[in-house]
Chains A and B, each alone.
Chain A
Amino acid sequence: GEDVEQSLFLSVREGDSSVINCTYTDSSSTYLYWYKQEPGAGLQLLTYIFSNMDMKQDQRLTVLLNKKDKHLSLRIADTQTGDSAIYFCAESIRGSQGNLIFGKGTKLSVKP
């Protein structure tokens, strides 16, 4: 079945770039997403990429998609302490009713 995998933890220093990686198994993904979850809060959509794109940039966020390797990454430039959160990779599958398959989430810790 479909599966999405992420590393569980990432620690960076303030001002550095963070790169969060994700791999997925289903080649019929239509969209791939990055959600952010702050402590005690819900899931906030950060950005998404359509499966026929390679890259998308949105201010400090850069999403790279390698469809051949089924690898998705999220780069956060100039990481701030406010970026500390759990980041979830998710995919939607062609033919589904828009439901999402999530990874376990990567906990990003930003040290001052």
Chain B
Amino acid sequence: EPEVTQTPSHQVTQMGQEVILRCVPISNHLYFYWYRQILGQKVEFLVSFYNNEISEKSEIFDDQFSVERPDGSNFTLKIRSTKLEDSAMYFCASRGDIMNTEAFFGQGTRLTVV
């Protein structure tokens, strides 16, 4: 069964460092998303990406964050100058098309900022 894969599963970084979280969406999918879940909190939408550009972003997704699809398979989330409050589980998701009801989620990357 096709799946969304995320690497690494756990990343520890020092405050102020840059991190790149990687995702490989399902190969024929067109819509890509990043969500985050701070421990004990809701899963929050960060950004959606379609046709090589951001289609929607939340107020959480400020200038510290960026997304990229550097090749035909990867979808990355970059966090510049990480803060302690960026510690969370980050989920990538993909969807076949806008009418497709199911968004497939990856296993998540747990980011710990120390």
> Interface residues, chain A, CB within 8 Å of chain B?
4, 31, 35, 41-45, 48, 88, 90, 96-105
Contacts and interface: CB of A to CB of B under 8 A. Distances in A.
Given A96-B56, A100-B45, A102-B44, 18 more contacts: A35-B105, A41-B107, A42-B108, A43-B43, A43-B105, A45-B103, A45-B104, A90-B43, A97-B48, A97-B50, A99-B33, A99-B56, A100-B35, A100-B103, A101-B45, A102-B35, A104-B41, A105-B43
Interface in B74-110: 91, 93, 95, 98, 100-108
15 contacts: A31-B101, A35-B105, A43-B93, A43-B105, A48-B101, A97-B48, A97-B98, A98-B95, A100-B35, A100-B45, A102-B35, A102-B44, A104-B41, A104-B42, A105-B43
9 nearest A-B residue pairs (beta carbon): A102-B43, A43-B105, A42-B107, A97-B48, A97-B55, A99-B45, A97-B56, A42-B105, A104-B42
Interface string B24-64: 00000001010100001111110010100001100000000
A88 B105 contact: no
A35 to B, nearest CB: 8
**Range of interface residues on B (Cβ < 8 Å):** 20 to 34
Given A31-B101, A96-B56, A103 B31 contact: no
